[in-house]
Amino acid sequence: MEPSISKSLRATFLVHLAVAAVLGLAFLLVPDWAASLYGLEVPPPFAAILRLVGAAMLGWGLSSWFGYKARSWESVRVVVAAETLWTLAGALVTVYSILFDGFPALGWLNAAIFGAFAVAFAWQYRAHAKDQE
């Protein structure tokens, strides 16, 4: 029998889905408003970049929905690995942008959210992989 997905991984998927849906919809549908939360003004051509980020967040949120609905570790193993990479990269890029590119201090909240998901997904991957040994 294939190992099942833990309740904590399901919870991680569900929380990630909710956060990705809220932020993704904001960046996709109202990029100017989302940018204004950071004190940024976005010239019209660059709003497309924020919409693309929103679409990516919605895509990752959808992958979390599929992960939440899955029943076996093997069916979500690659998703958890990809989510770990996505959220770790998001945290690192955000921290870099704050330190070296003048990104507003509110970015620390983004870095913390990305970082928390990176830790959660990495921990889940390690815990489930260990169960496979």
pLDDT given at position 129 = 84
Return the H-helix or E-strand segment holding 37.
none
Domain count for the chain:
1
Give per-residue pLDDT as tens, 42-100.
Answer: 988 899 999 999 999 999 999 999 999 999 999 999 999 999 999 999 999 999 999 99
| Listed residue (31, 36, 25, 23) closest to 49, CA to CA | 31
Confidence of residue 3 (pLDDT cuts 50, 70, 90): confident
The answer to whether residue 81 is domain-embedded is yes
pLDDT given at position 4 = 87
- Alpha-carbon distances of 13 from 51, 62, 70, 124, rounded to whole Å: 23, 10, 11, 10
How many percent of the chain have pLDDT more than 90?
Answer: 86
User: Residue 8 CB: number of other CB atoms within 10 A?
Assistant: 13
- Alpha-carbon distances of 43 from 83, 107, 130, rounded to whole Å: 30, 19, 48
Average pLDDT over residues 3-31: 95
For residue 74, give its domain range: 7-132
Pairwise CA distance, residues 62 & 56, whole Å: 10
DSSP 3-state of 38: coil
Nearest 5°: CA angle at 86, between 61 and 119?
Answer: 95
The answer to whether residue 43 is domain-embedded is yes
The answer to whether residue 1 is domain-embedded is no
Pairwise CA distance, residues 9 & 19, whole Å: 15
